[in-house]
């Protein structure tokens, strides 16, 4: 009787260890997929930037036009510790994109993720390695402040404002490059 009890316990231990190993392998798979996706997105962004430079000319897109005046970051990441039960705290991520430079407290696109949510999103969606990963991540649950239409318009305005250092009339390739790097930023959060 005692030996069967010990046998059940050891089976439970083994099964728990197996679960841990499987969870670790899942995380590794997720991590590698995300890294692959991020690398692909950034490569695309750099090539689009080179394409914009080819189209608009080197005098319109170069590092000497970058604005050295002080301005607030348009995208910020805040990490807080939140209580998830007795003796347990989980990190809580808040990504704020395209905050208005005129009114920084008004955040136009805000995504809040607890660690559990992030793990759930990863395990549900990441069984394949392809470049659609990043667009899927971005499409998943940002919580918008304000009505959806006004948030998009204002975010678009902030995007245009950040590109204005290269001129107001810029090539669609430069805008595409901006979107690629923005997607890469979100992917980095998940990594």
Partner 1 sequence: MYGFEALTFNVHGGYLEAIVRGYRSGLLTAADYNNLCQCESLEDIKMHLSATEYGPYLQNEPSPLHTTTIVEKCTLKLVDEYKQMLCQATEPLSTFLEYITYGHMIDNVVLIVTGTLHERDVQELLEKCHPLGMFDSIATLAVAQNMRELYRLVLVDTPLAPYFSECITSEDLDDMNIEIMRNTLYKAYLEDFYRFCQKLGGATSEIMSDILAFEADRRAVNITINSIGTELTRDDRRKLYSNFGLLYPYGHEELAISEDIDQVRGVMEKYPPYQSIFSKLSYGESQMLDKAFYEEEVKRLCLSFEQQFHYGVFFAYMRLREQEIRNLMWISECVAQNQKSRVHDSVVFIF
Using the rule CB under 8 A, is 173 a contact of partner 1? yes
Regarding 171 and contact with partner 1 (CB under 8 A), the answer is yes
Closer residue to partner 1 (CB): 37 or 171: 171
Of residues 23, 62, 78, 82, which one binds partner 1 by CB under 8 A? 62
User: Which residues are paired to 89 by β-bridges?
Assistant: 83
Q: 68 vs 79, which CB is nearer to partner 1? A: 68
Q: In the numeric block, which tokens belong to residue 63? A: 């590092």
Q: How many residues bind partner 1 (CB under 8 A)?
A: 30
Q: How far apart are CA 132 and CA 99, in angstroms?
A: 26
List Cα–Cα distances, 132 to 10, 37, 41, 129, in angstroms.
Answer: 43, 8, 10, 9
**110 contacts 143 by C-beta, under 8 angstroms:** yes
Considering beta carbons, is residue 58 or 79 the nearer one to partner 1?
A: 58
- Length of the chain in terms of residues written: 191
Q: 131 to 160, contacts with partner 1 by CB under 8 A?
A: 156, 160
Contact pattern from residue 25 through residue 54 relative to partner 1, giving x for each residue in contact according to CB under 8 A and a dash for the rest: ------------------x--xx--xx-xx
The DSSP call for residue 142 is P
Biggest CA-to-CA distance, the chain? 84
169 sits near partner 1 (criterion: CB under 8 A): yes
Least separation, in Å, of the C-beta of 94 and partner 1? 29
Q: Please report whether residue 73 would count as binding partner 1 according to CB under 8 A.
A: no
The Cβ-side half-sphere exposure at 27, using a 13 Å CA radius, reads 11
Question: Under the criterion CB under 8 A, does residue 55 sit at the interface with partner 1?
Answer: yes
Comparing CB distances to partner 1, the nearer of 14 and 73 is 73
Sheet holding 76-83, edge to edge: 76-83, 89-97, 109-114, 143-144
Binding site for partner 1 (CB under 8 A): 43, 46-47, 50-51, 53-55, 57-60, 62, 64-69, 156, 160, 164-165, 167-173
């Amino acid at each position: 009787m005692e030996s069967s009890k010990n046998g059940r316990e050891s089976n439970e231990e083994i099964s728990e260890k197996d679960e841990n190993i499987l969870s670790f392998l899942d995380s590794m798979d997720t991590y590698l997929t995300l890294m692959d996706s991020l690398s692909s997105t950034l490569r695309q962004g750099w090539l689009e930037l080179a394409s914009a430079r080819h189209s608009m000319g080197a005098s319109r897109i170069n590092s000497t036009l970058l604005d050295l005046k002080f301005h607030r970051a348009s995208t910020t990441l805040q990490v807080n510790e939140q209580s998830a039960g007795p003796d347990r705290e989980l990190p809580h991520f808040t990504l704020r994109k395209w905050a208005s430079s005129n009114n920084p407290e008004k955040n136009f696109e805000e995504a809040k993720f607890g660690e559990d949510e992030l793990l759930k999103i990863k395990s549900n969606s990441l069984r394949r390695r392809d470049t659609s990963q990043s667009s899927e991540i971005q499409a998943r649950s940002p919580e918008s402040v304000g009505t959806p239409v006004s948030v998009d318009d204002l975010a678009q305005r902030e995007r245009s404002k950040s590109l204005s250092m290269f001129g107001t009339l810029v090539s669609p390739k430069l805008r595409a490059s901006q979107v690629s790097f923005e997607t890469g930023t979100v992917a980095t959060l998940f990594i």
